[in-house]
Amino acid sequence: MALWRRSSSWLSSCSRSPAGIVVGGNEAKVSPEVAPEDAADSEEVDEERWSRLLPELLTDIVRRVDQGAERWPPRRDVVACACVCRRWRDAAVSVVRPPLECGRITFPSSLKQPGPRDAPMHCFIRRNKQNSTFYLYLSLTQALTDKGKFLLAARRFRHGAHTEYIISYDSDDLYPGSNSGVGKLRSDFLGTKFIMYDNQQPYNGAKTLKSRSSRRFASKQISPHVPGGNLEVGLVSYKFNFLKSRGPRRMQCSIQCPVVASDPLNREKKPESSSSSLSLRNKAPRWHEHLQCWCLNFHGRVTVASVKNFQLVAPAGGGSDPWGVGDEETVILQFGKIEDDAFTMDFRHPLSAFQAFAICLTSFGTKLACE
């Protein structure tokens, strides 16, 4: 069963769904409102009433809501349906397709699922230099930046010779041991090697980090049924530039991504999944004689030249490629500057939003050994 948490960052304002559900902040209740002294009894009665709906009727209601809310913010109605009770949540999880199939992010669990296959998902990152925080938003329009739908946040901490990023579902809870922690990123002394950790076990056989750092930064489990911990799920490294020659940074990634084997004739059956290591490297730019700079085609999604800009592709002939992306032309992730503290982030299958965000975080900060 997919993980589900209520978060004020995901339901920050009140919205009314077709089913008459009012959601505000972290609570969900059925209208009309009742007196405070009768709230507990009334909520139990209302929840029992809604949970007694016929399964066919319940599924049809959720499916109609899902079909009528293609984009955010109307998609809050789908999340509101999942907040009614357990049966409604199970129905919503079964009806809503993952980003790989529908190209949409709905629940917080969608952030750890592979992105769409046919076209990249457009997002952007805003940086706050004063408190070393970074915020990931889903683009709602074709513009480079807009109000956006908040997805994830991260904060950079300095601990001795290392730098660590805490990644969270909640933009106001960016501290070690937070209840809404998603994972973290840890760099070496030179800032050229980063290890990505997941707070929940994404696949069988993930390597657990056992150190004082893991105990200090470990977040509380989202679900008691899912084993928690700091599990190593990726590595990002930047190549040293000993000769200090001119040119962009050179980076390589090894990310554990799920390989889903589903039956297209039986959508109700839960697909069997395993994992494999996806190797990525930055696409080599070309030197433009007239402009006297290194250039990459970002298709209008990047407007400011920066050493942080990059595109990641899967090298051809690199061994096993269960995702079919090893052609050196398909851009799996691209990241680039558009304003002083704003950057676009476009990713696609097999990376998830969480993995793409963590990779982009490695680009921030000075890397004297690489430039």
The tens digit of pLDDT for each residue in 182-233 reads: 999 999 888 889 999 998 876 554 555 554 444 444 444 434 334 445 789 9
- Report the candidate in 228, 239, 248 with the shortest Cα–Cα distance to residue 308: 248
Rounded to an integer, the average pLDDT of 6-16 is 46
Q: What is the reported pLDDT for 263? A: 46
Share of the chain above pLDDT 70, in %: 70
pLDDT in tens, 51-107: 788 889 999 999 999 999 988 989 999 999 999 889 999 999 999 999 999 999 999
> What's the alpha-carbon Rg for the chain, to the nearest Å?
22
pLDDT in tens, 265-319: 444 544 545 678 889 999 988 887 787 777 888 989 999 988 899 999 988 765 5
15 phi and psi angles, rounded to 5 deg: -145, 150
Residue 350: is the preceding peptide bond cis (ω within 30°)? yes
Q: Does residue 4 register a pLDDT over 60? A: no
Q: Does residue 369 register a pLDDT over 70? A: no
Higher pLDDT, 278 or 47: 278
Q: What is the reported pLDDT for 220? A: 43
323 phi and psi angles, rounded to 5 deg: -95, -15
Q: What is the reported pLDDT for 46? A: 61
- Report the candidate in 37, 39, 30, 87 with the shortest Cα–Cα distance to residue 61: 87
pLDDT class for 345, splitting at 50, 70, 90? Answer: very high
The CA angle 150-177-84, to the nearest 5 degrees, is 50
Q: What is the reported pLDDT for 93? A: 92
Q: What is the reported pLDDT for 162? A: 84
pTM: 0.79
Q: Does residue 326 register a pLDDT over 80? A: no
Contact in structure between 348 and 337 (CB atoms under 8 Å): no
Rounded to an integer, the average pLDDT of 3-24 is 44
pLDDT in tens, 123-173: 999 999 999 999 999 999 888 888 899 999 999 998 777 889 999 999 988
Q: What is the reported pLDDT for 112? A: 93
Rounded Cα distance, 78 and 64, in Å? 10
Which of 42-56, 272-286, 344-358 has the least mean pLDDT?
42-56
Q: What is the reported pLDDT for 177? A: 76
Beta bridge partners of 279: 254
pLDDT class for 259, splitting at 50, 70, 90? Answer: confident
Chain-centroid distance of CA 367 in Å reads: 25
